[in-house]
Structure 1
């Protein structure tokens, strides 16, 4: 991909400016053009992978997701191609929008793109095409959605159809229903769970916030914008901390092949004027993520986004991932809706949270603890409240980071016997420098876990209850790689040098020290903190350059008390 020269004066951290984003969008749009078929209605990208929705749906996905990119770019030449594809698709090429089918997802992208570019695309279509397109989209108003972020797809379609005067009563009903539905999943402080349970991931930003905020902004509805914009602003206080100093987003959750779609909520806050981030920090975080992926193989020799994280990587794919799925990354270009003279494009870049100061930040609703260090720009996420076993290992490990990926050998886990499973995660609290939870193993044992963090160092404590006496317990730490940060794990209580121990007649406590660091010569791990047991359910932790803390493992909560 050919990009303009770096502008280190305006963008001292990334070198990227608006011109780089425009060039990237243009290159991505040009690369997919040769794969259009059926009059431009379908985009069948190369490769032998097919999603579980089938080839026809995958082709529609290719059209819809790249149309959204053209809409954010406001490229009239490209939009003309997509207008021709819309005419062909609604003439019988596209599959119908039906209950819980993938075309419902893609209908939302089509509707949003048409709403964003109405004078450039929709208003130039002939009446017959408009009637067919509205009718095709109209099926989304009554289609049954999966009970998760999918509830917002009829909202997005309804917003456009209401604006053009098509089935206005049904459109408004779909909008009201979807917006009411997500209230069931809003847990406060800017955080949603993606449906029932505790499914915390990037769908918070690129779906649960994106669609309601864009709808409110496009409808010029001050009440909705105050509500959803306020939630977005609060979310960004935490969300901005999920990016490493090298631009990498946190490697956690499903659909990671959407890559720089992770930047969408960052731009969105600036677009709607509801953000705690300065213009320079906004662009630094977003451009950092785009640059991170473009420099690491996200685009192949044909200019196409690959199915993976850096380059191709089947480990981050799901059954719904088709050849064009990575183009959900188009959402990351929402910043191009901001005019060139907006401060988000003209202000000098400013450092992100991971570059400003070491921090250990509690995040209440998901019961996460975020730990970042400026010396290496690493961010670590200690997970004591997110669970979605359908898409493991990206939800139930004890920790994730911006520099590591979950391993098949069960990194960041507790084995009770030979069982590393972690289900029924129950949050037990999060506070300054700590987080805790309880989970159930496959054999029925209960493990109460607490992590205390300071700098790059972690104290990981696990109280195992209900296991047979003499059961082997083993703890694992960060995954290792030939290149990248150094992972360390040392026994502190109840564990051998091999990080194994055995349960006693009652509840048994196991403690290890862990560290993931890019520092070349850090202080030896065992010199950073002193850990002592104080009875069967209490622990004393004394940081060498910090406070002494008492950790109490209660029946329903974990308390961390400064001594």
Structure 2
């Protein structure tokens, strides 16, 4: 190891098998924050790096997000010695006469997000932060939380934040205007796609916000709503349907699909399993739900996700600002504590009493039409062939949403030099250049369809260049077929999976006509040209450091070559497996005419793209 696991991960060494282990993990994650509380305890400043919102809001984020874990822990009877920090912090932060006042909200504001955790706390454990306060402090809190309602919340999962504040205010007896409460719930229902899937707003993306936001908040509502609430029943039913699909975003080792934005929230991805337990929804046998939950936390316990002082870093598998969003402050990663929601349940709950059960995913691919993915389970990994998603608003949107393939074990890489075509990682992508300096990759699709276990997309890297791409699962391999129509000659680079790179170039690499392979101590990654005419050159690309989400230094097998003017068909077979797993020989190129006929006969539009996205 190149880091000290005892300081680079607060979960390191915790077996994460029992409820007591999960309690210990919560304390280990929270305690490193104690030195960073301000004198008035209303702010927690963890770093000098900035988000797009103001510094005070970032400090509020650092203060409030731990409550997603501490509140259910207290509701479940857990002993926590620092509730006075939060009681004083909330009182001072909402007092306009206090030096640490959080500031007046004048528009759509990050404070609206963070107040949801406080509303949740008021609803769950008012005796910790509300009941002991004097009347003036209570009046300030009520005034501040009601002042947020002057402005519309963002048209996505943010609407749940107002609902959570509403629930908290109701619990502590504060009267407020409920005009928008029902309207927001109806608008949230408008994002429902069916079969358990939502989209997070009027956007062409279906990502981890569906389990760790839309369903997570919906299940909290379902648990805490008044008896007979029909919407609570709907949230439970939708979550039960969703569980049968989203389990395929997790591998047999506990890793989850590295895909989309906000991955610095890390084990918030496992919060869905805990939310099922919280809302008493046995969507799968309790042993399977618990198995997904525990394995996921154990997966994270093995990665250097914290700084030397034990504070969670911005990043994914290690500290990494390249992959971050403009809205990630140093406090952002503490949404990971959403995973601790089941601590609200006593040890006698069937979730905690159940024996962990594994999941037999089988070897057949699984089509998920709403996100536009075909899932392939392997040992210690799940692969998603992907078409139909896009994100033009976030940094590295193409890498986070528009690659051809994503993985739990190998993550994905972001590009850090837009004028460095020959240095690009391009894992899971086809990059095209007309000058060997700048490049274009798939960013969005004109058409995205699914037919059985096969995906099709038509995309345009330039207005005058059209690419049609078919993605086909093939055991431990997958096949990509690209038909490129271009009026001028281009150069193409296509990447396989990125695997960890050893020091001293100790890995074994093969670079030849039509093939590139990289083998480390643990993994084998391969890319093979199966095009009908001509072969591209294989290359084992030593990617720029800190570009991959999971491993800081990687090798990416690539194929490179020219694309003449006119119509060219490129076909590629790609595989990455744990050492000891034989993926077999590369598959042959499928018949292009049969692929076209399949989509004429059975192709349906991927739900994620079936909307006119607004910017």
What TM-score range do you get, normalising by the shorter chain? Answer: 0.7 to 0.9
| Segment of structure 1 superposing worse, 251-260 or 400-409 | 400-409
Counterpart in the other structure of 1:89 = 93
Q: Is the 8 A contact 1:198 1:366 kept in 2?
A: no
Q: How does 1:435-514 map to 2 (within 5 A)?
A: 435-465=455-485, 467-468=486-487, 470-482=489-501, 484-494=522-532, 496-498=535-537, 499-500=559-560, 507-514=567-574
Name the SS for the 1:323 alignment partner: coil
| Structure 1 residue aligned with 2:515 | none
Matches within 5 A, 1:180-199: 180-199=186-205
Q: Distance in 2 between matches of 1:234 and 1:513?
A: 33
Q: How does 1:288-299 map to 2 (within 5 A)?
A: 288-299=295-306
Tell me, in whole angstroms, the C-alpha distance in 2 between the residues paired with 1:29 and 1:423. Answer: 39
Residue deviations 1:450-474 (CA, integer Å, cap 9, x gap): 2111321111112224x21654444
Query: Within 2, Cα distance between the matches of 1:472 and 1:514?
Result: 20
Q: Whole-Å Cα distance in 2 between the matches of residues 186 and 3 of structure 1?
A: 35
Write the distance in 1 (CA, Å) between the matches of 2:458 and 2:565. Answer: 20
Alpha-carbon separation, structure 1, partners of 2:158 and 2:340: 21
Name the CA shift for 1:442/1:361 in 2 (closer, same or farther; >3 Å).
same
- Deviation of 1:5 after TM superposition, in Å, equals 8.1
Shift of 1:312: 0.9
Asked if structure 1 preserves the Cα contact closer than 8 Å seen for 2:255 and 2:381, the reply is: no
Q: Describe the SS at the equivalent of 2:450.
A: strand
Distance (whole Å) between structure 2 residues aligned to residue 507 and residue 173 of structure 1: 58
Q: Is contact 1:458-1:513 (8 Å) kept?
A: yes
Q: Which of 428, 443, 456 matches 1:412?
A: 428
Could you report, residue by residue, the CA deviation over 1:431-455 in whole angstroms, capped at 9, with x for unpaired residues? 4432222222134422222211132
Distance in 1 (CA, whole Å) between partners of 2:333 and 2:299 is: 16
Structure number with greater CO (CA < 8 Å, separation at least 6) is: 2
Give the conservation status (yes or no) of the 8 Å contact 1:141–1:158. no
* Partner SS for 1:336: helix
Quote the offset at 1:371 in angstroms: 0.9
Question: Is 192-201 or 550-559 further displaced after alignment?
Answer: 550-559
Query: Could you tell which deviates more after superposition, 282-291 or 497-506?
Result: 497-506
Residue 371, structure 1, aligned to residue 372, structure 2 = no
Contact 1:493–1:532, Cα closer than 8 Å, also in 2: no
Aligned length: 529
Q: Report the secondary structure of 1:311's partner residue.
A: coil
Task: Tell me the CA shift for residue 504 of structure 1.
Answer: 6.9
- The 1:4/1:151 distance shift into structure 2, 3 A limit, reads closer
Equivalent in the alignment of 1:398? 404
Whole-Å Cα distance in 2 between the matches of residues 296 and 220 of structure 1?
41
What does 1:337-348 align with in structure 2 at a 5 Å threshold?
337-348=344-355
TM-score by length of 2: 0.80
Aligned equivalents of 1:22, 1:491: Cα separation in 2: 51
Residue number in structure 2 paired with 1:151: 159
Deviation above 6 Å: which 4+ runs of structure 1? 1-6
Q: Provide Cα deviations, 1:360-388, integer angstroms capped at 9, x if missing partner.
A: 11111111111112xx2210111112211
Structure 1 residue 279 displacement after superposition: 1.7
Change over 3 Å in CA distance of 1:500–1:103 after alignment to 2: same
Aligned mates of 2:50, 2:257 — CA distance in 1 = 27
Deviations 1:324-359 (A, max 9, x none): 111111111111112111121121111135xx4224
Secondary structure of the corresponding residue to residue 234 of structure 1: helix
For the residue of structure 2 that corresponds to 1:531, the secondary structure is: coil
Confirm whether residue 202 of structure 1 aligns to residue 260 of structure 2.
Answer: no
Question: 1:175–1:213: structure 2 CA closer, same or farther, 3 Å change rule?
Answer: farther
Could you tell me which of 363, 371, 379 is aligned with 1:358? 363
Aligned to 1:334: 341
SS at match of 2:358: coil
Q: Any unmatched runs of 5+ in structure 1? A: 7-13, 540-549
**What corresponds to 1:78 in structure 2?**
82
- Equivalent position of 1:388 in the other structure: 391
Determine the structure 1 residue equivalent to 2:444: 424
CA RMSD of aligned residues (A): 2.5
* Equivalent residues of 2:402, 2:444 under 8 A apart: no
Q: What is the rounded CA distance, in whole Å, between the counterparts of 2:496 and 2:40 in structure 1? A: 53
How far, CA to CA, are the matches of 1:120 and 1:15 in structure 2?
Answer: 27
Q: Please tell me whether residue 133 in structure 1 is matched to residue 166 in structure 2.
A: no
Shift of 1:34: 1.7
Deviations for 1:236-278, whole angstroms, at most 9, x for unmatched residues?
A: 1121121222222211111111111111111111221224222
CA distance in 1, matches of 2:164, 2:243: 22
Matched, 1:178 2:184: yes
| CA contact 1:154–1:174 (8 Å) conserved in 2 | no
Q: Which residue of 2 aligns with 1:516?
A: 576
- Indicate the residue corresponding to 2:244 in structure 1: 237
Structure 2 vs 1, CA of residues 532 and 138 (structure 1 numbering), >3 Å: closer, same or farther?
closer
How far did residue 233 of structure 1 move? 1.5
User: C-alpha distance in 2, partners of 1:512/1:448?
Assistant: 14
CA contact (8 A) 2:477 2:583 kept: no
1:315 matches 2:322? yes
Which of residues 261, 265, 281 is equivalent to 1:254? 261
Q: TM-score, normalised by structure 1?
A: 0.87
> Which stretch of structure 1 is more off in the superposition, 114-123 or 186-195?
114-123
Q: Which moved more, 1:363-372 or 1:442-451?
A: 442-451
Which among 282, 286, 290 is matched to residue 279 of structure 1? 286
Q: 1:117 to 1:402 in 2, by over 3 A?
A: same
In structure 1, how many angstroms separate the alpha carbons of the residues matched to 2:282 and 2:460?
39
Q: CA deviation at 1:557?
A: 7.3
* Equivalent-residue separation in structure 1 for 2:123 and 2:313 (angstroms): 28
Note the alpha carbon deviations across 1:54-113, whole angstroms, 9 max, x for none: 221111111111233221221453223211111111113112233221111111111112
